[in-house]
């Protein structure tokens, strides 16, 4: 098992380990029992993860003589709302959870966001642990303490920065992951290669077929490297006021495409086509060499991720969503651009004309 320490200088007691391995659930139970000191553990999972892994995970904790219960909520992004938070909080009260209890988020990004948010406000905050079961949660959302829920007015409008006590990543969860979920994670991994690590990008280019087969040894290496990159960025900018924004590479246009499709396009596909759009914009602005832009497009295609914007998604619709985003964020969209693969920078604005032209180019 590999351990990566995330150090937060502002508060050493908020630092924590990210543990990565294959088939390590028993060891995870042991570490939780040894290090955590909570009197009671409450595992929180959505209905899908609960059916697949809920009982076996509870058994592991109970085998360690820990008092453990499970709270379940309906699977899906629609659960990321205040009703779920209140329902989970009330169930915690019924179970007798108090400030000596700890929560365990067993699941993907939605579960991590919900559990982190509840943990940050329940009885003025209690500890929580992340056990991410999707690839995107393993390489991205479980690390860095962002929590949040959606409002009808928009996504993640209520939330906190609240770091977990530990992140435990077991690659065996990838065995039961549907392809679209695996691809959501792959898109974020490609993003890490593009914004931070040309060696990771080379590896993705050279091992595309084995990645698609989910070769475990290779995936372990790739997940470890991705977590190391995310750890490094969060250590410098925990509160997302500077360098952490480079994690949004491909997301400005990607989020607009995803929302304009009514969320029928997956996050991974939307970010993939968003990264191609961003790379094309960088080349048009004479920042990125065309060879690098071509490598990005070729890799995205080789991994079977989305490389075009379907005709059904209108250009004015995408542009208006980018403009709304801009209004919400103080009239500045922080576009993440590239000088070359591995060298990103943040730009205050890109002319609408260039975004429009790029979107039109990406029609098939």
Closer of 213 and 239 to ligand GLY (Cβ): 239
Q: Which of 17, 215, 235, 240 binds ligand GLY (CB under 6 A)?
A: 240
List Cα–Cα distances, 154 to 60, 80, 103, 216, 325, in angstroms. 38, 11, 27, 37, 10
The least CB distance from residue 162 to ligand GLY, in Å, is 13
Closer of 244 and 340 to ligand GLY (Cβ): 244
Rounded to a whole number of angstroms, the CA Rg of the chain reads: 20
Q: How is residue 346 written in tokens?
A: 């943040």
Q: Which of 19, 25, 49, 247 binds ligand GLY (CB under 6 A)?
A: 247
Is 244 a binding residue for ligand GLY by CB under 6 A? The answer is: yes
C-alpha angle 39-7-132 in degrees, rounded to nearest 5: 55
Tell how far CA 209 is from the center of its chain: 23
Interface size with ligand GLY, residues (CB under 6 A):
7
Q: By the 8 A CB rule, do 45 and 72 touch?
A: yes
Q: Cα–Cα distance between 291 and 60 in angstroms, integer?
A: 50
Q: Cα–Cα distance between 198 and 202 in angstroms, integer?
A: 6
Is 275 a binding residue for ligand GLY by CB under 6 A? The answer is: no
**CB under 8 A, 24+ apart: contacts of 232-237:** 232/196, 233/144, 233/196, 234/6, 234/8, 234/143, 234/144, 234/145, 235/6, 235/7, 235/8, 235/9
The least CB distance from residue 146 to ligand GLY, in Å, is 5
Closer of 99 and 239 to ligand GLY (Cβ): 239
Closer of 70 and 333 to ligand GLY (Cβ): 333
- Max Cα distance, the chain (Å): 62
Query: Candidates 157-165, 240-248, 289-297, 329-337 — which segment interacts with ligand GLY by CB under 6 A?
Result: 240-248
Closer of 29 and 112 to ligand GLY (Cβ): 112
Closer of 54 and 250 to ligand GLY (Cβ): 250
The least CB distance from residue 250 to ligand GLY, in Å, is 12
Closest residue to ligand GLY using C-beta atoms: 247
The least CB distance from residue 96 to ligand GLY, in Å, is 33
Closer of 240 and 304 to ligand GLY (Cβ): 240
Is 333 a binding residue for ligand GLY by CB under 6 A? The answer is: no
3-class secondary-structure state, position 241:
coil
Q: What are phi and psi of 265, to 5 degrees?
A: -90, 135
Closer of 64 and 346 to ligand GLY (Cβ): 346
What spatial distance separates the first Cα and last Cα of the chain, rounded to whole Å? Answer: 45
Binders of ligand GLY among residues 176 to 215 (CB under 6 A) are: none
The least CB distance from residue 244 to ligand GLY, in Å, is 5
Binders of ligand GLY among residues 135 to 174 (CB under 6 A) are: 140-141, 144, 146
Q: By the 8 A CB rule, do 85 and 117 touch?
A: yes
- Window 33-52: contact mask with ligand GLY (x via CB under 6 A): --------------------
Q: Which of 167, 183, 288 is nearest to 234 (CA)?
A: 167
Closer of 144 and 344 to ligand GLY (Cβ): 144
Closer of 132 and 144 to ligand GLY (Cβ): 144
Q: Which of 46, 77, 303, 31 is nearest to 169 (CA)?
A: 31
The least CB distance from residue 112 to ligand GLY, in Å, is 11
Q: Which of 268, 247, 267, 280 is nearest to 363 (CA)?
A: 280
The least CB distance from residue 240 to ligand GLY, in Å, is 5
Residue appearing with tokens 């659930």: 25
The least CB distance from residue 144 to ligand GLY, in Å, is 4
Torsion angle (degrees, nearest 10) of CA 268, 269, 270, 276? 110
Task: Name the residues that contact ligand GLY, by CB under 6 A.
Answer: 140-141, 144, 146, 240, 244, 247
């Amino acid at each position: 098992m590999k351990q990566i320490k995330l150090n937060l200088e502002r508060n050493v007691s908020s630092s924590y380990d990210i543990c990565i391995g294959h088939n390590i659930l028993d060891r995870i139970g042991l570490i939780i029992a040894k290090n955590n000191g909570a009197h009671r553990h409450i595992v929180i999972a959505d209905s899908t993860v609960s059916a697949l892994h809920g009982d076996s995970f509870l058994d592991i904790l109970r085998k360690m003589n820990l008092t453990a219960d499970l709270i379940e909520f309906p699977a899906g992004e629609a659960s990321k709302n205040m009703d779920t938070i209140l329902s989970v909080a009330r169930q915690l009260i019924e179970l007798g959870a108090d400030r000596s209890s700890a929560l365990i988020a067993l699941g993907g990004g939605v579960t991590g966001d919900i559990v982190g948010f509840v943990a940050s406000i329940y009885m003025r905050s209690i500890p929580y642990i992340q056990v991410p079961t999707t690839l995107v949660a393993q390489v991205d959302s479980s690390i860095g303490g962002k929590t949040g829920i959606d409002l009808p007015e928009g996504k993640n409008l209520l939330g906190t920065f609240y770091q977990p006590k530990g992140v435990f990543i077991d690659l065996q969860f990838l065995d039961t992951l549907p392809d679209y979920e695996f691809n959501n994670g792959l898109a974020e991994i490609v993003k890490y290669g593009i914004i931070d690590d040309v060696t990771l990008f080379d590896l993705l280019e050279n091992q595309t077929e084995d990645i698609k087969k989910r070769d475990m040894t290779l995936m372990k290496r790739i997940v470890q490297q991705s977590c190391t990159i995310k750890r490094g960025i969060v250590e410098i900018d925990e509160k997302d006021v500077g360098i952490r924004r480079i994690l949004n590479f491909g997301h400005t246009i990607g989020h607009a495409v995803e929302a304009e499709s009514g969320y029928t396009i997956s996050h991974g596909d939307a970010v993939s086509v968003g990264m191609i759009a961003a790379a094309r914009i960088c080349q048009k602005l004479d920042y990125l060499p065309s060879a690098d832009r071509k490598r990005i497009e070729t890799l995205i295609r080789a991994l079977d991720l989305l490389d075009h914007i379907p005709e059904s998604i209108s250009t004015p619709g995408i542009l208006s969503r980018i403009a709304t985003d801009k209004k919400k964020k103080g009239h500045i969209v922080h576009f993440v651009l590239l000088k070359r693969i591995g060298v990103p920078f943040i730009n205050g604005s890109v002319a609408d004309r260039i975004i429009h032209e790029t979107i039109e180019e990406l029609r098939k």
